[in-house]
Amino acid sequence: MTTPTPPGWYPDPQNPVIVRYWDGAKWTANTHPSSLAAQHAVPQAPKRKYTWLWYAGVALILVVAALVGTGFFDSSDSSSKLAANYPTLDSSNDPTLFKPSSYEEINERDFAIILKNPWDHVGRRVVLHGTVWQFDTATGGDHFLAEVGTSPTGLMNNERAFMVGKASLLAPFIEGDEVTMHVVVDGQMTYTSTEDEEITVPQFQVAMIELTK
């Protein structure tokens, strides 16, 4: 013989998270939350909002794009002057132009003085080391942008400069080449970048150039 279930609070057969009162014969309408369910309930972690990450990612892309684009020479703008300021190097007028011994090995401070006002040093002959930064159809075959300095090891050679030379002399060189150059200070050059920004950099005429690496 089955023993009847005594009256009391029992888990609701339809909803175990609550308890319902059994009067000994039937379920009543009296319910309340199950204390056991409350004890074992795991609070749900609040959803994190990652919207800010999306915006940060977009901003980063824009910054990178700006860094990549800014500074590149744009030949389509008429304000980009390609003329040399100093008389074009010609050994028939001065044979010493192509003698390495006629060029100064300068230090970082000497270079900083030149950069302060290149116009005060037009015609000065110095040795520079650096990397060919942009040399393409935009710059043309007889001009290129370089990052230059005075260190033979390449350390801190990061001054952007416009280099002018004979196309036949510059033809063997490409972007990324590390070079040593014997140059003549040639004032400054202002060009318009691909980001439509006017940039003024020192300009040098290249008399001799060779690969460092």
Eight-class DSSP state of 197: -
pLDDT of residue 28: 82
Asked whether residue 28 falls in the same domain as residue 81, the answer is no
Which tops the pLDDT comparison, 38 or 32? 32
Instruction: Kindly report the CATH number assigned to the domain that includes residue 128.
Output: 2.40.50.140
Does the pTM surpass 0.75? The reply is: no
Distance CA 99, CA 111 (A): 21
- For residues 181 and 123, membership in a common domain is answered with yes
- For residue 56, is it within any domain? no
Tally of domains in the chain: 2
- pLDDT tens digit string along 42-84? 445 555 555 656 666 656 655 554 444 455 555 554 344 444 5
**Same domain (yes/no): 114, 17:** no
Asked if 113 and 161 sit in the same domain, the reply is yes
One domain, residues 83 and 18:
no
The answer as to whether 197 is a domain residue is yes
Rounded Cα distance between 64 and 61, Å, is 5
Q: pLDDT band for 27, please (50, 70, 90 cuts).
A: confident
In whole angstroms, what separates CA 29 from the centre of its chain? 70
- Report whether pLDDT(38) > 90: no
Please tell me whether residues 34 and 137 are part of one structural domain. Answer: no
The fraction of the chain above a pLDDT of 90, given in percent, is: 44
Render pLDDT for 137-165 as a digit per residue (tens, 0 to 9).
888 899 999 999 999 988 889 999 999 99
Is residue 130, in this structure, part of any structural domain at all? Answer: yes
Q: Among 104, 147, 110, 109, which Cα is nearest to 126's?
A: 104
Neighbouring residues of 169: CB distance < 8 A, sequence distance ≥ 6? 206, 208, 209
Q: What is the pLDDT of residue 59?
A: 61
Q: Is 189 helix (H, G, I), strand (E, B) or coil?
A: strand
pLDDT at 104: 97
**18 and 104 housed in the same domain:** no
CA atoms within 13 A on the CB side of 69: 12
- 123 shares a domain with 207: yes
DSSP, collapsed to helix, strand or coil, labels residue 65 as helix
For residues 12 and 78, state if they share a domain.
no
73 and 36 in a common domain: no
What is the domain extent for residue 14? 8-40
Alpha-carbon span 129 to 210, nearest angstrom: 10
Statement to judge: residues 15 and 120 lie in one domain: no
pLDDT at 78: 39
| Residue 2 domain flag | no
Mark whether 23 and 111 lie in a shared domain: no
